[in-house]
Amino acid sequence: MSFNSLTFLIFFLPVFILVFYLFPKKYRYIILLIGSLVFYLYSGLYNFIIILSIAFINYIGVFIINKYKKKNVFSYVLVALNIITLLIFKYDNNIIFPLGISFYTFNNISYIIDVMKRKVSYEKNILYYLTYILLFCHVTMGPIVRYKDIKNNLLNLNPDFNGFHCGLKRLLWGLFKKVLIADSLGILYNTLISNNTSIVSHIFCLIVFALQLYIDFSSYCDMAIGLGKIVGINYNENFDYPYLVTSISEFWRKWHITLGNFFKEYVYFPLGGNRVSKFRHVINLLIVWILTGMWHGNTINFLLWGLYYGIIIILEKLVLKKVLDHLPNFIKHIYVIVILLFGYIFFSISDFNDAILFIKGLFSGSFIDNTIIFYLKENIVLLIISIILCFKLPNNIKKIYENNNIVYFITNLICILLYIISISYIINGTYSPFLYNAF
C-alpha cells in the first residue's frame, strides 16, 4: 500500500483516522500499531514477516544489552547483525528486496546505539517499540527517525484541531506534488532518456530528472510529516530547499536531512569527524560517502556516485572554499547545479555502460535538435511549476496566508480541489510508485 494509492486514500486512511480519534488517548498507540500492521501486511506477507522478525530480534537483543554488563560488546554485535542482514538483502540479487528495509534498519541501529550510550532508555513495552518500528507514516521511505525524538509523542497521541488541520493540508499538498507534478515529470523523463540525440537533450533530461527526484521524494516526506501531525507525531523536516544552496556541502545538509544526520551521528562522529589529522579527516569523509553510495544501491554506479560527492566535498573543504567565498552567489549556484546534474547521471542510470554512453552523448553530437524543442514547448508550464516548487515561499506571503481569513478559506478550498483532481488522476491510471521505494 502506497500513500498515493486509492486503497490508502479512500479506504485505509479515512477508516484509520475515524477509529483513531474515537478511541481514548491512552489506547491510541494500539490503534496506531494495528493500523501500521495492516498497512505493512498489505504490502505482502513476505515483507510483513521480514520486518516483524527483524523487530523482534532487535527487541530481544536490546533486552539482553540492557541486562548484560558488557553493553558495548552486545550492542556492536547487534548493530553488525542488522548491517549484515541489510547487505544480504540489498546485494544478493537472488533474494527479494523487502520494502523499506533500508529505512527501518537504520531506525533500529539508531535505537540500539542510543540505548547503549544512554541517550534513550530501554523500552520495556514491546508495543511501543513495535509502533516505532512499524509506524506506517515512515516505515517504507522514512524519514529516518530516532526513538528519542518521537517517544514522548507516542506516549501522548492527542493532536489538537490545528495539528490535524495542518497535517491534513500537508498531506494533500504532498499528494498534489506527487500525482500531478512528479509523475508527469517521470513520464517526460522516460520519454527523453530514449530520445537523446543532442547535447541539449542530454542536459534537459538531467534537469527533468533533478526536478522529478526532488519533487517526488519531498512529496512523500510532505505526506509522511502530514500523517504524523494528524496522529500527533512531530517528524523532523527532510528537505530545506536544497537547490537554492551555494555549495555541495550545504546541499547535503539540506537534502535528505535525516539520512545525513544518521551518517554524521553514527559514522562520521565516531570515526573522529574533523577533530583528527587532515589525512584522517579525508578518510572519514570518504568512508561516509562510500557507505552513502552503498546504502542507495548495489551497482557500481551508486558506489561511483558516493565517491564522486565524497571527493567534491573534500575538495570544497580543503581547496575550493576560499575560492567559492569570493564568488558571487549566482556563480556559486551555477557551480552547484552543474555538479549535481553530472552526479545524477550515475544516480538515474543503473548500468555503468549506459552511464558512459550518456556522458559521451553529453559532450558530442549536434548541439540541439527539433525533438527537444518540441518537448520543451509542450512541457513549459510543467517545468515552470516544478522550478517554482524548488523555491521558498516568501515570509510576507506566509504572513498574509496565516492572518487573512479569506486567503485561509481559499487555500483550504484549493486543497480540496487538488485532492479531487489527484484522485481523478490516480483513477485514470496515472499511478506510479515513489522513486525512493527502490532504496
Q: Would you state the pLDDT for residue 396?
A: 56
DSSP letter at 96? Answer: P
Distances (CA, A) of 228 to 47, 86, 146, 213, 388: 23, 26, 14, 22, 26
Among 111, 110, 100, 157, residue whose Cα is nearest residue 134: 100
Grid cell at residue 51: 520486518
DSSP 233-275: --PPPS-S-GGG-SSHHHHHHHSSHHHHHHHIIIIITTTTTTS
Q: Would you state the pLDDT for residue 409?
A: 77
Give the separation between CA 275 and CA 335, rounded to whole angstroms: 28
pLDDT confidence tier of residue 395, bands split at 50, 70 and 90: low
pLDDT confidence tier of residue 403, bands split at 50, 70 and 90: low
Task: Name the packing angle between helices 329-348 and 300-315 (round to 10°).
Answer: 160
By the 8 A CB rule, do 247 and 224 touch? Answer: no
Task: Tell me: do 130 and 179 sit in the same domain.
Answer: no
pLDDT confidence tier of residue 81, bands split at 50, 70 and 90: very high
**Which residue type is seen at 175?**
L
Q: Would you state the pLDDT for residue 394?
A: 58
Q: Does residue 235 have a pLDDT over 80?
A: yes
Of 78-92, 108-122, 395-409, which range is least confident?
Answer: 395-409
Look at residues 102, 126, 158 and tell me which one is the last residue of a structural domain. Answer: 158
427: in domain: no
Task: Tell me: do 152 and 187 sit in the same domain.
Answer: no
Q: Would you state the pLDDT for residue 197?
A: 79
pLDDT confidence tier of residue 312, bands split at 50, 70 and 90: very high
pLDDT confidence tier of residue 69, bands split at 50, 70 and 90: low
Task: Tell me: do 94 and 39 sit in the same domain.
Answer: yes
Q: Considering its fold, how many domains does the chain have in total? A: 2
Is the Cα torsion angle 95, 97, 103, 107 positive or negative in sign? Answer: negative
319: in domain: no
151: in domain: yes
Q: Does residue 384 have a pLDDT over 70?
A: yes
Predicted TM-score (pTM) of the model is 0.91
Q: Would you state the pLDDT for residue 85?
A: 94
Domain range for residue 370?
163-273+344-385
DSSP letter at 159? Answer: -
Q: Count of CB atoms within 10 A of residue 373's CB?
A: 14
Per-residue pLDDT reduced to its tens digit, 317-371: 988 888 888 889 999 999 999 999 999 999 999 889 999 999 998 888 788 888 8
Task: Tell me: do 193 and 215 sit in the same domain.
Answer: yes
* Owner of C-alpha cell 491510471: 429
Look at residues 105, 140, 158 and tell me which one is the last residue of a structural domain. Answer: 158
Task: Tell me: do 15 and 98 sit in the same domain.
Answer: yes
DSSP letter at 196? Answer: -
Where are the alpha helices (H) located in 68-122, listed in sequence order? 71-91, 101-116
Task: Tell me: do 154 and 180 sit in the same domain.
Answer: no
Q: Would you state the pLDDT for residue 249?
A: 93
Stretch 243-264: mean pLDDT, rounded?
A: 94
Look at residues 141, 158, 175 and tell me which one is the last residue of a structural domain. Answer: 158
Is the Cα torsion angle 255, 259, 263, 265 positive or negative in sign? Answer: positive
Stretch 37-58: mean pLDDT, rounded?
A: 93
Task: Tell me: do 101 and 175 sit in the same domain.
Answer: no
362: in domain: yes
Tell me the pLDDT of the chain averaged across its residues: 89
288: in domain: no
Among 393, 1, 15, 9, residue whose Cα is nearest residue 175: 9
Among 233, 256, 178, 259, residue whose Cα is nearest residue 8: 178
Q: Would you state the pLDDT for residue 402?
A: 62
What does the angle CA 102 – CA 103 – CA 106 come to, to the nearest 5 degrees?
A: 90
Among 285, 247, 248, 234, residue whose Cα is nearest residue 263: 285
Burial readout 71-108 (b: 16 or more C-beta within 10 A, e: otherwise): beebbeebbebbeebbeebbeeeeeebbbbbbbbbbbb
Q: Does residue 208 have a pLDDT over 90?
A: yes
By the 8 A CB rule, do 309 and 288 touch? Answer: no
Q: Does residue 404 have a pLDDT over 90?
A: no
